[in-house]
Structure formats: structure tokens, C-alpha cells
Amino acid sequence: MPTYKAPLEDMRFVLHELFDSTSRAVLPGNTDFSRDLIDSILDHASRLTEDVLFPLNQQGDLEGCVLENGRVRTPSGFKKAYKIFCDGGWTAMSASPDWGGQAVPISVAMMVDEMLCSSNVAFALYPGLSRGAYVALSHVGGENLKEIYLPNLVSGKWSATMCLTEAHCGTDLGMLRTRAVPKEDGSYGISGDKIFISAGEHDLTENIIHLVLARLPDAPAGVRGISMFLVPKFLPKKDGTPGPRNGVQCTALEHKMGIHGSATCTMNFDNATGWLLGEPNKGLAGMFTMMNVERVAVGMQGLGIAEVAYQNAVLYARERLQGRSLRGPKAPTKPADPIIVHPDIRRMLLTMRAYIEGCRAVACWVGNELEVLQKSDDIDAKLMAEDFSALMTPVVKALFTDLGFEIASLAVQVYGGHGYIRDHGVEQFLRDARISMLYEGTNGVQALDLVTRKLPHDRGRLLSRFFGPVVGFIEQQSQNRVLEPFLPQLRRAVEHLQSATSFIAENAPSNHDEAGAASAEYLRLFGLVALAFVWTRMASISAPRIEEPGHRGKFYRAKMRTAQFFMDRLLPQTGALLAAIQSGSKIMMEFEDTAF
């Protein structure tokens, strides 16, 4: 049976030591969030995820969701767990107090998200979609719609979805066919079919709110003719409670590779009543306020699954007896040594650990900037935060989910043949991780967004928000002897990223395929440099404390050794990635189609 324990010690290190949590207290609305309160939130989240949600994860995978007469039944225990989740105020964590929320700092909420996804990612998807809808409705909804829907979304009484994809169009939303016809009362009749709708139908809430992309009768072609509509499952009565059933129905459940406990639905809208959100034909911009939130959240899914996979791999490596150490028996009284003595097992475990702890640090960095963007009164600070978060969103989504899948695969490898067997539970982590690389924009689309939109934006303004602090840190710490093992590698990796950026900037304007051909490698290169930066910073904090007595000294020594492993064994990939980028697009684009 798999196990999970929330990594609170490392989360607190990142929140309080790497990124001083008191710096967030100066932002409007954050004065009450002391270190003690943040730690209390993490403690309560750990108990919820370890004791309530994780025990349902494997059974939810085996049982799945069931569609009967248009209604979806979630796995056993999900309804009770959802009530506990709502009663604990977790649905209100990131929302504004204006609508019943708690306005918890975003970086703290991201750590809670990680725990949710480690413990039960299928369950986490139900409230997760509601949060994105809350953001979209807050940005573009009229006051009357906000007053009806936002308090119910924040309380968790109602949940929400985002309905974009149709059978013939996924990434290319300009091809969508769902129609919206104006009615005399100011509402619209929505007709069409949407597929792959997470939480489109379920039994956890009394109402489900669908945010639907559709076309008005006079809409221009392509993405310029997309509008967004709010379509509830039940039409609210005057008192705000759910009333008559709307013309929206779940017609099928997808049979998926993973996340079986999450209902992935085909939804039919048959002249369903909906209300316009935002301006006509401007729906894609409104929906992207939701999608960008979801993309960061999906990145945290990758990190969450990576963490639980790593924990179980470590436990198995300590207990499984196979073979003897290459340097002689380590457990001479036993028939064999635990496999953790073998170099290849240690390589895999350290790879997992280095990526996980690095990604957690990057997540907090991005979360802090999103907090400034959301709450600061400083216009310049908000602009810089907006630039940085826009640049990093595709990196967080794609890097974290790529690594989440790779780490889940490594966990299976550590288990050997037993990892391929359902009973141990690690094969579920691998299956559950795979979808995160696909939805909310495939990772290839994220890489293309990074190189074609984010890099050239305003002559590289967004990119300067990343290079500025990284290069500045290298210069400031150049005489720091503690960092002598780290700064040369970081500097070299930054040079590789700068060279790759220059190559794309010089070649893409005359041949757009160059950007596309370089995009995947560029995003991984970018991500590795971001990880190297935070690892060097973590080393600078940990080095002076490695001699502390007891457990804390052991923690900092492990942090230093993991940092060194990352710099020595993982960061050198940047050189190969640069070489691949500089090889150009010719070989792949001139390969004849018929030869594939």
C-alpha cells in the first residue's frame, strides 16, 4: 500500500527562509498572515490530505465514476470528503473576503495545492476548477452575476467547469461551433457539444456552473468571434437557491488512462440558458484569466504527484533487499542489502529529490510575484510582477508536469517489476501524472507560447524580469566563498540560456520554424536555469547552518548535498540543449512527409 506524508519541513524552509514570509505581510490584506498562522494552515492541510484524502486515492482509482440516467456518481467517500473540505473552509482559501474568502497568500495556497495533488489529484480537480471560474467571473462578470454565483462558489456549495474543447477543436479554438442566440430577456440560448470537461457532472455540489465558449450569430470567424457565457446546471430562483433544470446534460464519461476518480464528461447544451460574461467576441481573453490560473495549478499537480511518488520510492528502496553493495555487504546479517545502497537507485532518488525541491522553490517564487500582482498598490511593482508571472506560467505548467511524469516513471523503475503491479500503487501515480502534460494547453503549446509570444514581447521586456535578478545575484555573490562550488555552474548555464535566446531572436524572424523547432528544448533549458538559481540561493542559506545540532543540521546538510547533485549531475544538460537548439529546424522540416 502506498503512503504519503506532507513535506512540511521543506515547505516551511521555502516559505520562511528562502522567501521571507514576513515580506508578504506588508501587502494590503496580508497583515494577519504571520509565520505562526501560515504554519497552522499547513498543519491543518497536512492532516486533511494525509488522513482524509489520501486513503481515498487508490480506491477512487479502482472504482472510478459512474454515469446513470444523466447523473454521475463519484467514488465512495468522495462526498463525505468534499463536505469535510468545504466545512474546513478550503474552498474559500484564495478568494476575496468580499465574497466570503480568506485571501490566503498565493504561495501558501500553492503549497496546499501540492498536498492536495499528492494525496488525491482526482479529488483535487473538483474544487480546483471552481477556483479558476471564480477568477474569471471576478474579472469579467457583471455585479448581478457575481452576487449570485461568487458566494456559492467560494463556499463550495456550487462548483464550476470550463467548457472549451469540442471534438473537432482543441488547441485551435477558432474552429469551435457552439452557438449562442440572444433572447428577449437578455440571456442567451447556448447549443453545442463540449468534450473533456473535468467535473462536468457529479454528486458533490447542489449546482454546477459551466463557463462556455460559444459564437454569437454575427460573430467574426476565428478566435475574434468567441464569447464566454455562464451556464448553470440549475437556474437559480429569486432567492438564489437552485431552481429548474437547465438544458445541459452529461451524455458520456471518458474512459481514461488515469485520474479515474475525476469525472471527465461529454456535455450537451440544448438551448441552455446562459448569460454573457464580458464583452461580445472577447470571450477568449476572459477565459484566459481562468486558464492562466489553471496552468499554474496544473504545474502544482505535477509537483504533487512527483512528491508522493518520491516518498514511496524512498520507502521501498530502504526496505527491498536485493543483491549486495558493490563495496561489500552493508547488511551482513540479512540475506541481501537494501537496494538503496546501489548507485543507480541513489541516482534516481537524488534526481527525483533535486527536481522536486527545486520546483517547490520556483513555485514559491512565482506565487510571491502573483501575490504582488494581486494585492500591491505599487504600480511599478505590479507591472514587474505581471511580466514575470506571464513569462513563468508556461514554464511552471510544462516543466513541473514533464518532471512529474518523469519522476513517477523513476518511482516505478525503483520498484522494478513490483512497480508495474497495481497493488503497490506507484503505477497509478504514473497514469495520473500523464494528463497534466496535455490539458490546459499541451506542453508543446506552452513551449511555443514561451518562445513566440513571451520572449519577443516588447523587445524582451518580460525576459529581463528573469535575467535581472539571476544575473544580479551572481554579481552580488561573486566573492561569497560558500558558493564557489555553485556560481560557476550557474553562470555557465545562464550563458547557455542567453546564447539560445540570441539564436532564436536572430533566426526566427526570417524562418518561424526555427522558434517552433527550438521551443521544447528552450523551455527545458529555461527551467533548468531557474532551478539552478533557486538551488544556489538555497545553498547560500543552508551552508552556514550545516553544523547546527540535531535534526536541523541534518536538514541543511541534506539540502547542500542535493544542491551539489543538481549542479553536478542535472544542470550540465543545458549544454546539450543549447547544441540541439543551435542545430536549427532544417533536418526536421525538410524530412519528407511521406517518409514518416
DSSP for 80-138 reads HHHHHHHHTTGGGTTS-GGGT-----HHHHHHHHHHHHHHHHHHHHHHHHHHHHHHHHH
For residue 292, the model assigns a pLDDT of 80
Per the structure, the count of domains in the chain is 3
Q: Is the pLDDT at 461 greater than 90, yes or no?
A: yes
Nearby residues of 232 by Cβ (< 8 Å), 6 or more positions away: 149, 207, 208, 209, 210, 242, 246
Which has the closest alpha carbon to 501: 544, 545, 464?
464
Question: What does the pLDDT look like over 228-278, one tens digit per residue?
Answer: 999 999 999 999 899 999 999 999 999 999 999 999 999 999 999 999 999
The question of whether 440 is a catalytic residue gets the answer: yes
Last residue in a domain, options 268, 285, 302: 285
For the record, the C-alpha cell of 594 comes out as 511521406
Q: Do 459 and 580 reside in the same domain of the chain?
A: yes
Residue 218, in any domain of the structure: yes
For the record, the C-alpha cell of 58 comes out as 487508490
Output the domain CATH number for residue 63. 1.10.540.10
Question: What does the pLDDT look like over 195-234, one tens digit per residue?
Answer: 999 999 999 999 999 999 999 999 999 999 999 999 999 9
Q: What distance in Å separates the CA atoms of residue 332 and residue 348, rounded to the nearest whole number?
A: 25
Classify 132 in phi/psi space as left (phi over 0), alpha (psi -120 to 50) or beta: alpha
Question: What does the pLDDT look like over 58-115, one tens digit per residue?
Answer: 999 999 999 999 999 999 999 999 999 999 999 999 899 999 999 999 999 999 999 9
Residue 59, in any domain of the structure: yes
For residue 26, the model assigns a pLDDT of 86
Residue 245, in any domain of the structure: yes
Q: Is the pLDDT at 301 greater than 80, yes or no?
A: yes
Instruction: State if pTM tops 0.85.
Output: yes
Contact at 8 Å (CB) between 238 and 43? no
Question: What does the pLDDT look like over 26-56, one tens digit per residue?
Answer: 899 898 999 999 999 999 999 999 999 999 9
Q: What values do phi and psi take at 576, rounded to 5?
A: -65, -40
Q: Is the pLDDT at 284 greater than 90, yes or no?
A: no
Q: Is the pLDDT at 173 greater than 90, yes or no?
A: no
For residue 237, the model assigns a pLDDT of 94
Output the domain CATH number for residue 164. 2.40.110.20
Averaged over 436-457, what is the pLDDT?
96
Q: Do 183 and 121 reside in the same domain of the chain?
A: no
Q: Do 31 and 67 reside in the same domain of the chain?
A: yes
Q: Do 128 and 187 reside in the same domain of the chain?
A: no
For the record, the C-alpha cell of 72 comes out as 454521475
Q: Do 469 and 500 reside in the same domain of the chain?
A: yes
For residue 496, the model assigns a pLDDT of 98
Last residue in a domain, options 139, 172, 206: 139
Q: Is the pLDDT at 290 greater than 80, yes or no?
A: no
Q: Do 109 and 177 reside in the same domain of the chain?
A: no
| Catalytic residue, candidates 357, 440, 514, 521 | 440
Q: Is the dihedral of CA 319, 324, 329, 330 positive or negative?
A: negative
Residue 513, in any domain of the structure: yes
Q: Is the pLDDT at 288 greater than 90, yes or no?
A: no
Residue 22 binned pLDDT confidence (cut-offs 50, 70, 90):
confident
For residue 9, the model assigns a pLDDT of 98
Residue 503, in any domain of the structure: yes
For residue 170, the model assigns a pLDDT of 83
Question: What does the pLDDT look like over 315-346, one tens digit per residue?
Answer: 999 999 999 999 999 999 999 999 999 999 99
Other C-beta atoms lying within 10 Å of the C-beta of residue 576: 12
3 state DSSP class of 181: strand
Q: What amino acid is encoded at 428 in this protein? A: Q
For the record, the C-alpha cell of 264 comes out as 471527465
Q: Do 131 and 173 reside in the same domain of the chain?
A: no
What does 144-178 look like in DSSP terms, one character per residue? HHHHHHHHHHHHTSEEEEEE--BTTBSS-GGG---
Residue 261, in any domain of the structure: yes
For residue 25, the model assigns a pLDDT of 82
Q: Do 124 and 212 reside in the same domain of the chain?
A: no
For residue 364, the model assigns a pLDDT of 97
Contact at 8 Å (CB) between 204 and 128? no
Question: What does the pLDDT look like over 146-158, one tens digit per residue?
Answer: 999 999 999 999 9
Q: Is the pLDDT at 419 greater than 90, yes or no?
A: yes
For residue 23, the model assigns a pLDDT of 84
For residue 259, the model assigns a pLDDT of 98
Give me the domain span that covers residue 27. Answer: 8-139
Q: Do 23 and 94 reside in the same domain of the chain?
A: yes
Last residue in a domain, options 262, 285, 308: 285
Averaged over 471-488, what is the pLDDT?
96
The whole-chain average pLDDT of the chain stands at 96
Residue 434, in any domain of the structure: no
Percent residues over pLDDT 90 in the chain: 94
Q: Do 164 and 129 reside in the same domain of the chain?
A: no
Other C-beta atoms lying within 10 Å of the C-beta of residue 593: 5
Helix (H) or strand (E) holding 189: strand 188-198
Q: Do 178 and 262 reside in the same domain of the chain?
A: yes
Q: Do 96 and 135 reside in the same domain of the chain?
A: yes
Cα–Cα separations (whole angstroms), residue 66 to 57, 79, 263: 16, 14, 8
Residue 458, in any domain of the structure: yes
For residue 184, the model assigns a pLDDT of 95
